[in-house]
Amino acid sequence: MTDLSLEFCGIRYPNPFVLAAAPTTDKEEMVARAFEAGWGGAVLKTTSVETEDVSLVYPMMTGLDYDGKRLAALQNIDLISHYHIDVVEKRVRALKKEFPDRVVAASIMGQAKEHWQELVQRLETAGVDLIECSFSCPHGMPERGMGSTIGQNPDLVERTARWVKEAARRVPVVIKLTPQIADITVAAQAVKKSGADGVCAINTVKGIIGVDIHDFVPQPRVLDKSTIGGVSGLAIKPVALRCVAEIARDVGIPITASGGITTWRDAVEFLLLGARNLQVCTAAMQYGFELVKDLKEGLGNYMEEMNFSSVEEIVGKALPNLVDHNSLSRNHKVVSRVDEDRCINCGRCYIACNDGGHQAITMSEDRVPQIDEEECVGCGFCTTICPVYCLQMERVEEKS
C-alpha cells in the first residue's frame, strides 16, 4: 500500500488521519478501537486540573438537516471532558504501551499559568506525544475566561502559549484556534511568536442550529432553554479551508486541520491548502471509526492516480493558485455548456439561470436547456444546481 506517513511538528504520523478531541476520544477503549481501525493518531478529549468543575448539560447536540438528509452540520454545547488529568494520565500510559506507533496527543485547557504548566508536565511524564491547547471552545468556557476568550485576543494567545511551551521539555505544543476572530492569521502569528510548534485550525463555529418553532426554544434544548454553541461538520468546511489556507500562506506554521473533513476528497483539499495533519470529529462520530479505512484508501488511490509518491508532495500545492481578487483574470470569457446526452431534462438550470442568473437558458420543446452564449455572462450558478452534473463552464474566445 502507498506510504501515507507524514511529519507534523517533528512527529512522523503513520498516516495523517487523527481523531479530534471530542466524545470519540473520551474513553481509552474507544481510542484503542480507533487505532485498531487504523487512525494515525488521536487527540484525547480536552482535560483540565482536578479543581476545575465540569458540569455537563443534556442533551448537548442537535443536527442540521438538509434536503431530506441528516447532519449537514452539528451543534454541540458539550464542555471539556469530565475526566480530569489523573484519569487522562493513566489513559496516555496505557495507549502508548499498546500502540507505540500511533500518536497520542492530549488536549488541555486551564486558567492560571500554574494550571497550564502542571497539565503539560504531568502529561509529558505520562508519555504523551503532543500537547494541544484549546484556546477555542466557543461555549461555556468563555464565560469563565477560558476557551475562545483566549483565542480571540492575540496578546492572551501569545502569553498563554508561551507558558505552555516553557513548561514542555520534550513534546511539541499545538494551539487550537477559534475562527471567531476577524483575522485568524493574527492569532496564528501570535502562536508563532510564542515559540509554540503548530496550530490546529479550526475549532467549532459559534452558532445556533435551530429553534423549536412550536414552543420557541432554540436547540439543542436543555429542558426549556438553550444556549449558543459550536457548529461542526461538513457545513463548516469552507470556513476551515479558508482559515487553513490563510495561515499557511501568511504565517507559515505547521497546521493540523479540523472542520468538516468527511471524505478523502476533503482531506486532499486540506492538504493542498497547506495542512499537514487532518483531524476528524463529526464524520467519525457519524460514520464510525471504520471511516478511516475509506479515508486512507481514498487518499492512497488518489496519490497513485496523480503520481504522488509521498503525502508531503501534496501539502500546499494549491496555495500558489490562491490570489487576491484583483489579480484574477478579466480577459477571458466562459459560458455554460450542456452535455445533452447526460441531461435528464429536469429544467432546474433554467430556473436557476432565470431567477438567480442572467436569463440565458431557455428550454427546447423536448426539455433540453438551450444556452444563449451572448446572454450567458458565465456566472456558473447553473452548474451548481444540475443534479447530474451535465453543465460545465467552458472557455470561449478571448476578450480584448
6 conformational bin, left if phi > 0, alpha if psi -120 to 50, beta if neither: beta
Size of the site for ligand FMN (CB under 6 A): 27
346 binds, among ligand FMN, other proteins, none (CB under 5 to 8 A by kind): other proteins
Q: Which does 204 bind (CB under 5 to 8 A by kind): other proteins, ligand FMN, none?
A: ligand FMN
- Work out whether 369 is an interface residue with ligand FMN (CB under 6 A): no
Round to whole Å and give the CA distance between 229 and 253.
28
| 13 vs 350 by CB, closer to other proteins | 350
Question: 363 to each of 198, 247, 383, how far by Cα in Å?
Answer: 54, 46, 16
Cell of 315: 501539502
Tell me which of ligand FMN, other proteins, none is bound by residue 261, counting a contact when its beta carbon lies within the kind-specific cut-off of 5 to 8 angstroms.
Answer: ligand FMN
CB nearer other proteins, residue 227 or residue 359: 359
For residues 97 and 214, which CB has a smaller minimum distance to other proteins in the complex? 214
Residues 297, 246: Cα–Cα separation, whole Å? 28
Nearest to 43 by CA among 23, 62, 29: 23
Which whole-number Å values give the CA distances from 77 to 134, 260, 282, in the listed order?
15, 17, 14
Q: How far apart are CA 179 and CA 159, in angstroms?
A: 19
| Whole-angstrom distance, CA of residue 217 vs CA of residue 194 | 43
- By CB under 6 A, residue 207 contacts ligand FMN: no
Q: Minimum Å distance from CB 58 to ligand FMN?
A: 12
137 counts as catalytic:
yes
Is residue 277 at the binding interface for ligand FMN, with CB under 6 A as the rule?
Answer: no
| Range in contact with ligand FMN (rule: CB under 6 A) among 166-174, 212-220, 258-266, 372-380 | 258-266
71 touches, from other proteins, ligand FMN, none (C-beta below 5 to 8 Å by class): none
Compare residues 232 and 277 and give the one whose CB is closer to ligand FMN.
Answer: 232
**Beta carbon nearer to ligand FMN, 202 or 371:** 202
List residues near other proteins by CB under 8 A. Answer: 67-69, 344-348, 350-351, 363, 367, 387-388
Question: Which is the catalytic residue, given 9, 133, 137, 386?
Answer: 137
* Cβ-Cβ contacts under 8 Å for 248 (sequence gap 6 or more): 255, 273, 274, 275, 316, 319
**131-190 residues near ligand FMN, rule: CB under 6 A:** 134, 176
Task: State whether residue 46 is helix, strand or coil.
Answer: strand
CB of 346 to other proteins, least distance (A): 4
State yes or no: residue 124 binds ligand FMN (CB under 6 A): no
Report the alpha-carbon distance of residue 320 to residue 308 in Å, rounded. 18
- Is-contact 92 44, C-beta < 8 A? yes
**Judged by CB under 6 A, does residue 260 bind ligand FMN?**
yes
Please, are residues 229 and 220 in contact by the beta-carbon 8 Å criterion?
yes
Catalytic center residues: 137
- Interface positions with ligand FMN (CB under 6 A): 20-23, 45-46, 61, 74, 76, 78, 80, 107, 134, 176, 203-204, 232-233, 236, 258-261, 280-283
